[in-house]
Amino acid sequence: MNKWYLLLIIALFSQCKNNSDKTTGANNGNEAPAYVKDLADQVAKKPDSVGLRFNYITALDSTRNYKLALSQLDSLIVYDKGNYALWFKKGQVSEHAGDTIGAIRYYNTAITIYPSVDGLLGLANLYAETKNVKTLATCQQIDDLGLGREYDAYTAFFAGVFFSRTGNKDKALFFFDKSISNNYTFMEAYQEKGYVFYDAKKYDKALEVFKLAVDVKNRFADAYYWQGKCYEALNKKADAITKYQQALDFDNSLVEAATALKRLQ
C-alpha cells in the first residue's frame, strides 16, 4: 500500500475529530486561532510531515479558511494524484465551502481510486440535494456492500431526500420511514418527513412527526421550533410561543425561533 495513502487515511479518521472538537469560527479576515497558527508553524518547520500537513488542512477547514485548505491539498495532490484520502478530503472541504459541483467531481475522483463507503455516501448526499437521479444507483451500490442497518438508514434517507426534492412525496415518506426503522435516532429523517407533511399543509401530521422526534431526543431544538411552526399554522398561538421558547432554551442561537417569538409576543 502507498505509504502516503496509509498515513493520510490514519490522519483522516483519527485526527479530524480532534480538531473539529476545538472551538471554531468563521475566518473572515480575522486573526487565525492560536492552535491553527501553531499548526502552521509546525508545518513550516516540518513541511514533509504528512500527518502535520493533514492536521493543518483539517484545522483550516474547521475555521472556514477553505481557500488555504484547498491550496494545501493541491500542493499534496501534485505529488500523489492517486491518493484516495487527498481527493476525498478535497471533496469534503469543497462541500463545506459551498462548491457542490467541485465536491461531486472530487468525490468521484476519490471513489475511482478506491470505492470507499465514505466517498459513496458523500456523493449520494450531494446527488440527492441536487436532484440527480444518480442518487438511487449510488445508494444501491452502498446497500450491495451489506454493511448493516446504520448504512441502510443513510441510503434510505438519501433516497427519501431525492424523491422529496423531485416532488414524489409518497416515495419520499416511504424511504424516510425506512430510514427511521433502521435507525430510530436518525433526527434528520424525522425532520425531512415532517417537512413533507408541512409543505403539503398537513400540519397535524407534521406535528406528530416532530413530537415523536423530541420523544426520541428531548433536547432537539429544531423539532421544538417546527412544532411551533405547526401550531402557528394551526392558529394555536399560545402553543406556538411555548414551543419556540423551548427551542431557544435548548439552542439560544436559533435565530428563526427568536424571530418567531418576537413576532407573536
Q: Are residues 84 and 72 in the same domain?
A: yes
CATH of the domain at 120: 1.25.40
Quick check: is 193 in a domain? no
Quick check: is 30 in a domain? yes
Q: Are residues 142 and 54 in the same domain?
A: no
Q: Are residues 80 and 7 in the same domain?
A: yes
Between these two residues, 31 and 180, which has the higher pLDDT value?
180
* CB-count burial class (<10 Å; 0-12, 13-18, 19+) for 34: exposed
Quick check: is 166 in a domain? yes
Domain that includes residue 140, residue range: 115-183
**Contact indicator for 207, 175 with CB cutoff of 8 Å:** no
Q: Are residues 221 and 263 in the same domain?
A: yes
Q: Are residues 73 and 138 in the same domain?
A: no
What's the whole-model pTM score?
A: 0.83
Quick check: is 92 in a domain? yes
Query: Which of the four pLDDT bands, split at 50, 70 and 90, describes residue 18?
Result: very low
Q: Are residues 38 and 110 in the same domain?
A: yes
For CA atoms 122, 124, 127, 131, the dihedral sign is negative
pLDDT tens digits, one per residue of 213-248: 999 999 999 999 999 999 999 999 999 999 999 999
Q: Are residues 86 and 130 in the same domain?
A: no
For residue 262, what pLDDT is reported?
Answer: 95
* Distance from the first to the final alpha carbon of the chain: 63
For residue 32, what pLDDT is reported?
Answer: 81
Cα–Cα distance, 114 to 112 (Å, whole number): 6
Cα–Cα distance, 152 to 182 (Å, whole number): 7
Q: How many domains in the chain?
A: 3
Q: Are residues 224 and 262 in the same domain?
A: yes
Quick check: is 107 in a domain? yes
Instruction: Retrieve residue 75's grid coordinates.
Output: 500542493
pLDDT tens digits, one per residue of 93-112: 999 999 999 999 999 999 99
Query: Which of the four pLDDT bands, split at 50, 70 and 90, describes residue 133?
Result: very high
Quick check: is 194 in a domain? no
Q: Are residues 131 and 109 in the same domain?
A: no
**Domain boundary residue, one of 54, 89, 114:** 114
Q: Are residues 40 and 92 in the same domain?
A: yes
The residues, ordered by sequence, that sit 6+ positions from 175 with a Cβ below 8 Å of its Cβ are 156, 157, 159, 160, 163
Is residue 209 scored above 70 in pLDDT? yes
The CA-based dihedral angle spanning residues 29, 42, 46, 9, taken in that order and rounded to the nearest 10 degrees: -80
Q: Are residues 171 and 262 in the same domain?
A: no
**Domain boundary residue, one of 85, 114, 143:** 114
For residue 30, what pLDDT is reported?
Answer: 58
The residues, ordered by sequence, that sit 6+ positions from 103 with a Cβ below 8 Å of its Cβ are 91, 92, 94, 95, 122, 126
Q: Are residues 52 and 76 in the same domain?
A: yes
Quick check: is 129 in a domain? yes
Instruction: Retrieve residue 197's grid coordinates.
Output: 407533511
Residue length, the chain? 265
CATH of the domain at 20: 1.25.40.10
Average predicted confidence (pLDDT) for the chain = 90
**Domain boundary residue, one of 98, 114, 130:** 114
Quick check: is 197 in a domain? no
Between these two residues, 69 and 16, which has the higher pLDDT value?
69
Cα–Cα distance, 238 to 57 (Å, whole number): 48
